[in-house]
Amino acid sequence: MKIDVLTTFPDMLVPVIESSIARIAAEKGIVSIEPHDIRSFSENKHGKTDDYPFGGGDGMVMTPQPLFSGIRHCLDNVKPEKPRIIFPTPDGVPFSQDLAEDLAQEPYLLMICGHYKGIDQRVRDVWVTDEISIGDYVLTGGEIASLVIIDAVIRLIPGVIGTLDSALSDSFSHPLLDCPWYTRPEVFEDLKVPDVLLSGHHARIETWRQEERIKKTRERRPDLYHKWLSEQKKD
Ligand code: SAM
């Protein structure tokens, strides 16, 4: 998968791209992520990328010209058949594991990082295929949101993490939230691992894990719990 990211802060992305799961995916030749500075596409002699909103109001809006040019530049290099062009924005559709799984099937993604009030609506109308919110809160810019989406997507591509099966049993891939996990030692500062996990009895361990998943989901996410419950009743 190739991921281009249009941003006015490419330096914000580099430390994450050069560490984390993104570096592992790049070293394995599975994913390459390239930040592009939106300013470098600006035809303004000062590299300006924002202006005052028509109709008045506080704050600035990112202008269409550098974004149209940046998008065309990225698409011309890759020539993807049906590019998914993603604009992370608080007024987008909520990001979810289902959407991450859908995006993980794509050979190419282009992310646009907004700032200020956001980007000129014409960029959204002409180019953007997916407007995605990472949560009901407002960040200063789209870089962190893009990194959240990229991380969630690339870990689902086969070969990126050692055990894809493990990722597929995580919360949200599984209908219930994840159960508690323990590792060595059996006792740490008088805190003991639950006996059942040391029993070697696989059926009992699975029953315990499922009970823990149900308990946690019922307490923390009644919406998911009731959805799961109604699926159980159908089966
Ligand atoms: N005027 C926008 C609104 O109210 O919907 C908020 C703009 S925000 C200050 C600046 C940029 O940060 C957005 O264009 C977007 O790229 C990014 N951003 C902020 N919060 C986000 C969120 N919850 N999910 C995805 N992107 C977000």
How far is the C-alpha of 58 from the C-alpha of 84, rounded, in Å?
Answer: 31
- With a pLDDT cut of 70, the percent of the chain lying above it is 100
* Integer CA distances (angstroms), 202 to 106, 198, 209, in order: 37, 10, 10
Establish whether the linkage from the previous residue to 180 is cis, with ω within 30° of 0: no
Task: Please indicate, yes or no, if residue 83 is contained in any of the structural domains.
Answer: yes
Question: Is pLDDT at 173 greater than 90 in this prediction?
Answer: no
Nearest to 178 by CA among 232, 220, 147: 220
CATH number of the domain to which 201 belongs: 1.10.1270.20
Q: Is 114 found in the same domain as 25?
A: yes
pLDDT tens, residue by residue, 187-212: 999 999 999 999 999 999 999 999 99
pTM, two decimal places: 0.95
Which residue puts its alpha carbon closest to atom 17 of ligand 1? 142
What angle do the packed helices 222-234 and 202-220 form, to 10 degrees? 130
Q: Is 181 found in the same domain as 130?
A: no
This complex has an ipTM of: 0.99
Which residues line the pocket of ligand 1, CB cutoff 6 A? 88-91, 113-115, 117-118, 133-135, 137-142, 145
How far is the C-alpha of 224 from the C-alpha of 66, rounded, in Å?
Answer: 42
Q: Quick one: tokens of 228?
A: 């799961």
Q: Is 191 found in the same domain as 129?
A: no
Q: Are 52 and 59 in contact (CB under 8 A)?
A: no
Which residue puts its alpha carbon closest to atom 2 of ligand 1? 117
Task: Please indicate, yes or no, if residue 206 is contained in any of the structural domains.
Answer: yes
- Residue 63 sits in which domain range? 2-154
* Ligand 1 probe mutation, 99, 115, 138, 144, most atoms within 8 A of CB: 138
Q: Is 8 found in the same domain as 74?
A: yes
Q: Which of 121, 154, 187 is the last residue of a domain?
A: 154
Q: How buried is residue 134: exposed, middle or buried, by Cβ count under 10 Å (0-12/13-18/19+)?
A: buried
